[in-house]
Structure 1
Amino acid sequence: MAKYHLTPSDVAVIAVHIRRTDYLLRRKKGDLVSDDAYFSHAVTFFNRLFKNKTMYVVCSDDIEWSKVNFITERPTVFSVGHSADVDFAILSRCNHSIITMGTFGRWSALLAGGITVYQRPDAPTAVPLHNVNRRVDSTKDPTRAWIALS
């Protein structure tokens, strides 16, 4: 945040977990490898929701692909050279999450709280914002604040 001269009250910090390498190597029926279109839809959602007061923190097993394909004009930090446990800690400290397939992203999103966007092939590419905040207020089931996008 210091790099961009931001404070926690300036922006919503969005964790982005991008899992690719093992899914590319062993694609099975039903495996969903996220692409740049999904991330574009997720970024658009959060930028609309928070009126462009967003910052993104990207952790991935394919950071080079992520740097090329995770595109936003908002401040973005890529986690480079950290172990998986450090990346997990980073993701879990953010306000909201964009995740791909796998338990790593799911658990970090549950710990982070807030709104989580996840990919589902039959989901829309955009969602109306009018009832999103109502979904976030639930403390009994944190997955109520999870939004499916394609």
Structure 2
Amino acid sequence: MNFANPKGYKQVTIHIRRGDFSTPGNLKKGFAVVDATFVEKAKNILKLISSEVVFFVVTNDKRWCKENLKNVNLSPFDNLGDDLAIMALSDHVIVSAGTFGWWGAWLAGGKAVYDTEFPRSKSFLATYFNKYDYYPPDWIGIN
């Protein structure tokens, strides 16, 4: 796998959290996982900023990403610190859910695209979650 960023290209890291968030119990509580359609929409938004973009994926579900995402480079690492470093070195970040992606987007400092379906509205989790505290106003929310 080539994990290099071509000269002049913007680096975008896509954070995909699945695993524990996709269990029936956590889905019932209001956790959410993104699908490939969300990722493609988010990629298209960031391609409007720069047509020369390379996409990297950090995830806790490499199998799902390999099977469902197109034109991306999966992180070759198994260490969370290495994946966080990839995000921190990015120009922009696409965030699924969870604090790992949130911290990565903050460290990157560029544009962040996030899933407005996390947490799912009217869920148990949503009653304890203030989206205005969690998602900065300059982040781009889509579903």
- Asked if these proteins are the same fold (TM beyond 0.5), I'd say yes
Q: Does 1:119 align with 2:115?
A: yes
> What is the CA distance between 1:80 and its match in structure 2?
2.5
**2-structure distance, mates of 1:27, 1:121:** 12
Q: Does 1:104 align with 2:100?
A: yes
1:145 aligned counterpart, secondary structure: coil
Identity of aligned residues (%): 29
Q: How many residues align?
A: 124
Distance change >3 Å, CA 37–CA 53, structure 1 → 2: same
**2-structure distance, mates of 1:46, 1:83:** 27
Q: What residue is the counterpart of 2:58 in the other structure?
A: 59
Q: What residue is the counterpart of 1:87 in the other structure?
A: 83
Aligned pairs (5 A) from 1:1-150: 6-7=6-7, 10-25=8-23, 26-50=26-50, 52-72=51-71, 76-121=72-117, 143-150=136-143
> What is the CA distance between 1:4 and its match in structure 2?
6.3
1:13 aligned counterpart, secondary structure: strand
Contact persistence 1:114–1:145 (CA under 8 A) = no
1:94 aligned counterpart, secondary structure: coil
Q: CA RMSD in A?
A: 2.1
Contact persistence 1:118–1:148 (CA under 8 A) = yes
Distance change >3 Å, CA 36–CA 3, structure 1 → 2: closer
Distance change >3 Å, CA 81–CA 12, structure 1 → 2: closer
Corresponding letter in the other structure for 2:139 = W
Distance change >3 Å, CA 27–CA 77, structure 1 → 2: same
- TM-score (structure 1 length as normaliser): 0.74
**2-structure distance, mates of 1:5, 1:38:** 23
1:46 aligned counterpart, secondary structure: helix
**1-structure distance, mates of 2:15, 2:3:** 21
Distance change >3 Å, CA 104–CA 3, structure 1 → 2: closer
> What is the CA distance between 1:22 and its match in structure 2?
0.6
What 5-or-longer segments of structure 1 have no aligned partner? 123-141
**2-structure distance, mates of 1:29, 1:112:** 30
Distance change >3 Å, CA 89–CA 4, structure 1 → 2: closer
Corresponding letter in the other structure for 2:109 = G
> What is the CA distance between 1:82 and its match in structure 2?
2.3
What 5-or-longer segments of structure 2 have no aligned partner? 119-134
> What is the CA distance between 1:3 and its match in structure 2?
6.2
- Name the stretch that deviates more: 80-89 or 58-67: 80-89
- TM-score (structure 2 length as normaliser): 0.78
